[in-house]
Amino acid sequence: MQSIPTTFIHIDLGQRSYPIALGSGVIAMLGTSLSLPVGTAAVIVSNATVAPLYVSRLIASISATYSQIQTVVLPDGEAHKNWATLNLIFDALLRQGCDRKTVLYALGGGVIGDMTGFAAACYMRGVPFVQVPTTLLAQVDSSVGGKTAINHPLGKNMIGAFYQPQLVVCDLDTLDTLPARELAAGLAEVIKYGPIADMELFAWLEAHMDALVARERGALAHVVKRSCEIKAAVVGADEREAGLRAILNFGHTFGHAIEAGMGYGVWLHGEGVAAGMVMAAHLSQRLGLVDGSFVERLTRLIERAGLPTRGPVLDAQDNAGRYLELMRVDKKAEGGEIRFVLIDGPGKAVMRAAPDALVREVIDQCCAS
Ligand code: NAD
Ligand code: GLY
């Protein structure tokens, strides 16, 4: 297996700036090669799948830095990204007498990262935390930028906070154990960066999708690095989503409706985003922003990543109506009006409302019957 030397990407946010360390074996080098947040103790938050794989490696690496290290193991899955599971973190922190100099380590995918980040934002009004993402999706997107949240039964990621980590550690070795379906889900967020910001990356993905699916280490390193660079630029310009940052939600308005409508965890986040990007591309075409050949190109690439290109039926009686109902519970909605991230020519995103009738047509066209 090719070894990738550690590289760093800087997230430039003034006093809240931090590095992303990316390469092979970075977890094992943490304690000796990186500057870790100072603290009285460290608490590693992970889940029942990831902890047995990587927690001992992380403990060994950081043990010289902290006098105490505890581990909190949560149940695995999107269905557990809720108040009850978040409370398990607070229960453990309080039972262990953790003070405000405790450093939380999020070891896992986006679910663990989002929940640990939210716990860090809330516990004693804020303790430092480090993201150690172990899925492709978390390495290319969720661990970077400080969005933290839990789901509500009525809407995805509706309860949360902006709270930046102090360090992000992307160890490419962890991707070796990722199930193929989860790797594909991560590729959805990588593909996303093309239409919204970087068509050179998009063309690169068209040329190297087979290598990515085969987990060639050099190809994975390239997409993690390029994705983090694009995300760093967007977050650096608009940390709290006053405008620009919303482009990172391309495909997410439809995707979040799919996740909530199917029940969290039935469709993976990346799968919802994949089908959602196809729907958003069709909507862009109907509004005259892109032509059909671009929609075809995007659909083909998503398919090659092993991802769905059609949405599920959420309601046999009124499918489009159900999508619209769910999409109105979206953080981008204003006064009940849904605002979509659309493609305004390949490589450029724009936020727009669209007539319900047009959205209904797209949903009817793009959902499996
Ligand atoms: P996930 O966290 O559920 O992880 C996917 C699965 O892979 C889980 O079963 C997990 O236990 C397992 N896993 C993780 N690492 C593994 C490894 N190295 N080897 C084997 N198995 C491993 O899902 P995800 O796709 O990482 O993240 C999705 C979540 O991220 C969603 O809740 C989504 O809303 C959120 N998200 C947040 C942001 C943000 O900006 N904060 C951005 C995108 C997505
Ligand atoms: N993944 C969307 C964002 O970070 O803004």
The average pLDDT across 95-106 equals 97
Residue 1 has pLDDT above 80, yes or no: no
Q: Over the chain, what is the mean pLDDT?
A: 96
Q: Which entry of 222, 252, 282, 332 is annotated as an active-site residue?
A: 252
Centroid of ligand 1 to alpha carbon of 271 (angstroms): 12
Ligand 1 binding site (Cβ under 6 Å of any ligand atom): 47, 49-50, 53, 76, 78, 81, 108-112, 114, 134-135, 137-138, 141-142, 145, 147, 157, 174, 177-178, 182, 185, 269-270
The average pLDDT across 2-6 equals 92
The domain ranges of the chain are: 7-177, 180-366
Residue 341 has pLDDT above 70, yes or no: yes
- Is the C-beta atom of 248 inside 6 A of ligand 2? yes
Residue 221 has pLDDT above 70, yes or no: yes
State which ligand 1 atom lies nearest to the alpha carbon of 148.
Answer: 41
Centroid of ligand 1 to alpha carbon of 154 (angstroms): 20
pLDDT digit string, tens, across residues 18-35: 999 999 999 999 988 889
For a ligand 2 pocket test, name from 248, 273, 331 the mutation site with the most ligand atoms within 8 angstroms of its C-beta. 248
Q: With contact defined as beta carbons under 8 Å apart, do 184 and 305 qualify?
A: yes
CB-CB neighbours of 33 under 10 Å = 11
pLDDT digit string, tens, across residues 231-282: 999 999 999 999 999 999 999 999 999 999 999 999 999 999 999 999 999 9
pLDDT digit string, tens, across residues 136-148: 999 999 999 999 9
Centroid of ligand 2 to alpha carbon of 42 (angstroms): 27
Active site residue 269: yes
| Spatial distance between the Cα atoms of 191 and 207, rounded to a whole number of angstroms | 13
| Spatial distance between the Cα atoms of 169 and 30, rounded to a whole number of angstroms | 8
Which residue matches tokens 């995707």? 255
Same-fold call for 7-177 versus 180-366:
no
CATH architecture of 7-177: 3-Layer(aba) Sandwich (3.40)
State which ligand 1 atom lies nearest to the alpha carbon of 48.
Answer: 11
Q: Binning pLDDT at 50, 70 and 90, where does residue 331 land?
A: confident
- Is the C-beta atom of 30 inside 6 A of ligand 2? no
Residue 369 has pLDDT above 80, yes or no: no
The average pLDDT across 133-159 equals 96
The average pLDDT across 320-326 equals 96
State which ligand 2 atom lies nearest to the alpha carbon of 189.
Answer: 1
Alpha-carbon torsion (44, 50, 53, 54), positive or negative:
negative
Q: Which CATH number fits domain 180-366: 3.40.50.300, 1.20.1090.10, 3.30.70.260, 3.30.930.10?
A: 1.20.1090.10
Active site residue 147: yes
Residue 332 has pLDDT above 90, yes or no: no
Centroid of ligand 1 to alpha carbon of 137 (angstroms): 6
For a ligand 2 pocket test, name from 141, 269, 332 the mutation site with the most ligand atoms within 8 angstroms of its C-beta. 141
State which ligand 2 atom lies nearest to the alpha carbon of 241.
Answer: 5
Q: What is the pLDDT of residue 330?
A: 84
